[in-house]
Amino acid sequence: MKFKVPRGTQDILPSESWKWQRIEQMIHDVCDLYRYEEIRTPMFEQTELFQRTVGDTTDIVTKEMYTFTDRGDRSMTLRPEGTAPVVRSFVENKMFGWADQPVKLYYIEPMFRYERQQAGRYRQFVQFGTEAIGSADPAIDAEVIALALDVYKRAGLKDIKLVLNSLGDKESRMAHRNALVAHFKPAIDEFCADCQNRLEKNPLRILDCKVDRDHPLMKTAPSLTDYLNEESSAYFEKLKSLLTAAGIAYELDPNLVRGLDYYNHTAFEIMSTAEGFGAITTLCGGGRYNGLAEEIGGPPAPGIGFGMSIERLLLALEAESASLDNSDALDVYVVSLGDAAKDRAFEVLQQLRSAGVKSDMDYMDRKMKAQMKSADRLHAKWVAVIGEDEVEKNVVQLKNMAEGSQQSASVEEMIGFIQNERI
Ligand code: HAM
């Protein structure tokens, strides 16, 4: 029997994992800069949490969840997204009582969606997300957007754009909802079964339908923007002026509705504009979710956040032919000749590592030439050769690979040279 990695998932091998480490470090640094703190929640939650928050007419809940019954007969779901679990934790841990509000959290965690596999769409993917909960100030919306853009900028992406919309508050949404029902109802028979089901339950979801997206009524559907009440418009205007003042460019898209039900007011996506990026151009999606904490039994706590997958960030880098810094090569490769030298090499290696020098040696009893080839492949900056003579004299032959120079040195001297070069 042959085993394969499950469809829609991937092994991240060393040739790629270093990139993940770079990106993850970059994310930790940017979040620290903005004072967002890391939260880690379980990989699965009660199914109902997602049904109530993401919404039971959304694709995620109706088609994509990995749901199972545990041995205690409870319905559990591998998390398809990070917002609901974080808000659940916010309520459960009474974070609304913490002295510093809003509570600013971030996570880098795997998410699971049973989607059709294609470029940029996986069944397990890693989402970096932030959630700022406890403030309804449009300045925090601007901050969250700026943070997402900063991560892409640091990673080296240039061909990206920010797309913005406002979904308004409850009142605006109700007015728009009624207009949508009136718009689609006369011709709803021409739409897919899902849309027919959505008409009464959640007509906004029709606009997000992948099956009927070319139906002429889609283009003429009433736009949310026309139904924003005064308060919602003022909120949106304030956000736009804050972004402009911060030098952040955006495009408006009144059809941007997002695939999850908990949003109101701000909705945004960051897309790749790189040629050849592929069909799915959304790198990051987010928005405001006032009312979500109450929906799951907490006090009112307005929130805003976004999610972006590392997979799509890496694809965007590739599409732009932008490369991450991989200068973290090996400092020293220790080459040994003969048994006594090999024992000595291991001793030297541990001394080097104790001094913080990144080093390795041969464990395959290979000839000197093969060992030198390894040193080359690993981009070692220095090679320390140990033969019988060196064992006796307690030294190494230290070769600087860039300069080609060679000298005899004690271990202490060698550590000194390497540390000096780093300064
Ligand atoms: P979402 O739009 O469903 O929002 O996902 C956000 C991002 O996750 C996408 O833009 C994409 O980068 C990534 N993503 C989603 N599905 C896949 C997939 N199958 N394969 C690879 N990447 C994927 C949310 O999940 C919200 N929780 C975002 C949010 C946080 N809103 C407020 N706070």
The Å distance, Cα 363 to ligand 1 centre, comes to 44
72 part of a folded domain: yes
Nearest protein Cα to ligand 1, atom 10: 284
Name the burial class of residue 323, with classes exposed (0-12), middle (13-18) and buried (19+) by CB atoms within 10 angstroms of its CB: exposed
- Nearest atom (ligand 1) to Cα of 123: 19
184 part of a folded domain: no
**Residue 328 in this model has a pLDDT that exceeds 80:** no
Span 46-62, mean pLDDT?
94
Residues contacting 287, CB < 8 A, separation 6+: 167, 258, 263, 264, 265, 266, 267, 268, 304, 305, 306
Q: What is the pLDDT of residues 295-307, one digit of tens each?
A: 999 999 999 999 9
- Is 271 within 8 Å of 64 (Cβ atoms)? no
Same domain, 307 and 363: no
Q: What is the pLDDT of residues 125-140, one digit of tens each?
A: 999 999 999 999 999 9
CATH number at residue 366: 3.40.50.800
The Å distance, Cα 346 to ligand 1 centre, comes to 47
CA pair distance 378, 331, nearest whole angstrom: 9
Same domain, 337 and 315: no
| Ligand 1 environment, Cβ below 6 A | 81-83, 113, 115, 120-122, 125, 127, 129, 131, 259-260, 282-287, 305-309, 311-312
Going by C-alpha positions, the residue among 235, 283, 285 that lies closest to residue 260 is 285
Same domain, 293 and 154: yes
2 part of a folded domain: no
Name the burial class of residue 240, with classes exposed (0-12), middle (13-18) and buried (19+) by CB atoms within 10 angstroms of its CB: middle
Q: What is the pLDDT of residues 145-168, one digit of tens each?
A: 999 999 999 999 999 999 999 999
28 part of a folded domain: yes
397 lies in which domain range? 332-422
Nearest protein Cα to ligand 1, atom 14: 309
Same domain, 342 and 305: no
366 part of a folded domain: yes
Q: What is the pLDDT of residues 248-291, one digit of tens each?
A: 999 999 889 888 999 999 999 999 999 888 777 899 999 999 99
Same domain, 409 and 261: no
The Å distance, Cα 207 to ligand 1 centre, comes to 18
194 part of a folded domain: no
The Å distance, Cα 397 to ligand 1 centre, comes to 54
Exposure string (b/e) for 286-310, b if CB count within 10 Å is 16 or more?
bbbbbbbbebbebeebbbbbbbbbb
Same domain, 339 and 291: no
250 part of a folded domain: yes
**pLDDT value of position 208:** 81
Question: Could you give the number of structural domains in the chain?
Answer: 2
Same domain, 104 and 34: yes
23 part of a folded domain: yes
The Å distance, Cα 191 to ligand 1 centre, comes to 26
* Residue 125 DSSP one-character state: E
- Nearest atom (ligand 1) to Cα of 309: 12
CA pair distance 146, 132, nearest whole angstrom: 13
